[in-house]
Structure 1
Amino acid sequence: MGTSASNKGSKGTSPIVPPWADIDGNGPGPQPDAGRFRGFRREMGKFVTSGDNKSLQKALGHYSRNSLGGRGTSVRRFNQMVVSGGALIGTLNELRNGGSGVDNAGVNLSRLAGQPVETAIQAIVEAIAPDAGDRELVRAAMQDALIECLPSGTNFDPTAITDALLIELIIEYLTQCVFTHIVYESGDAFSKNTNTVAAAQRENELMELIRIEVDSHATPLLAASSNLGSNQVQNIERSILADVLDIWETYE
Structure 2
Amino acid sequence: MGTSQSGVGPSGRSPLLPAWVDDSQVTTQTPGPQRLKGLRQAIGRAVRSGGRDDVRKALGHYARKASGGKHIAVQKLGKITQAGSGLFSIFSGSQQQQYSVNLHSLNGQPCDLVINQITQLLSGHHGDSDKIRAAMNIALSEALEGMTTFDENSITVEVIGKMMVCYLTESIFLQITHDAGKAWNKADNLVQISKVENDLRQLICEVVDIKLAPKFTDDVYQLTIEQMQEIQNQAILEIWEEWEAY
Structures share fold, TM-score greater than 0.5:
yes
**Higher deviation after alignment, 106-115 or 209-218:** 106-115
Q: 1:173 aligns with which of 167, 186, 209?
A: 167
The 3-state SS of whatever aligns with 1:220 is helix
d(CA) in 1 for partners of 2:12, 2:172: 19
Distance 1:12-1:6 versus aligned 2 partners, 3 A rule = same
SS of the equivalent of 1:73 reads helix
Determine the structure 2 residue equivalent to 1:143.
Answer: 137
Q: Does 1:118 align with 2:117?
A: no
What's the CA shift string for 1:36-89, capped at 9, x where partnerless? 212211111111221223322321122111111114322221111011100011
Equivalent residue runs for 1:1-252 within 5 Å: 1-22=1-22, 25-94=24-93, 104=97, 106-108=99-101, 111-152=105-146, 154-227=148-221, 228-251=223-246
- Asked whether the equivalents of residues 6 and 188 of structure 1 are also in contact (C-alpha less than 8 Å), the reply is no
Aligned to 2:85, the other structure's residue is in SS state helix
More helix by share: 2
Counterpart of 1:244 in structure 2: which amino acid? I
1:37–1:66 CA contact under 8 A, matched in 2? yes
Q: CA deviation at 1:172?
A: 0.8
| SS of equivalent to 2:30 | coil
Question: How many Å apart are 1:105 and its aligned residue?
Answer: 5.4
Code of the residue aligned with 1:132 in structure 2: it is: H
| 1:142 and 1:173 in contact (8 A); partners too | yes
SS at match of 2:115: helix
Q: Report the TM-score when normalising by structure 1.
A: 0.88
Distance in 2 separating the partners of 1:108 and 1:71: 34
Whole-angstrom distance in 1 between the partners of 2:173 and 2:154: 28
Question: Distance in 2 between the 1:205 and 1:22 partners?
Answer: 33
Cα distance change on mapping 1:32 and 1:197 into 2, 3 Å: same
Paired letter, 2:135: A
Aligned in 2, Cα 1:116/1:105: closer, same or farther, shift over 3 Å? Answer: farther
Is the partner of 2:181 in helix, strand or coil? coil
Unaligned runs of 5+ in 2: none
Aligned Cα RMSD in Å?
2.1
Contact 1:89–1:229, Cα closer than 8 Å, also in 2: no
Identity of aligned residues (%): 32
Residue deviations 1:183-206 (CA, integer Å, cap 9, x gap) = 111102233223222221211111
**Contact 2:184/2:193 (<8 A) preserved:** yes
Query: What is the CA–CA distance in structure 2 between the aligned matches of 1:65 and 1:41, rounded to whole Å?
Result: 13
How far did 1:153 drift? Answer: 5.2
* Inter-partner Cα distance in structure 2 for 1:22 and 1:65: 23
Render the CA deviation track for 1:199-229: whole Å, top value 9, x for unaligned: 2121111111111111111233334542133
Alpha-carbon separation, structure 2, partners of 1:175 and 1:225: 23
**Which whole-Å CA distance do the structure 1 matches of 2:111 and 2:16 have between them?**
37
Distance 1:80 1:114, change over 3 A: same
Runs of 4+ off more than 6 Å: none
Listed as ranges, the gaps of 5+ residues in structure 1 are none
CA contact (8 A) 1:107 1:127 kept: no
Aligned partner letter, 1:218: L
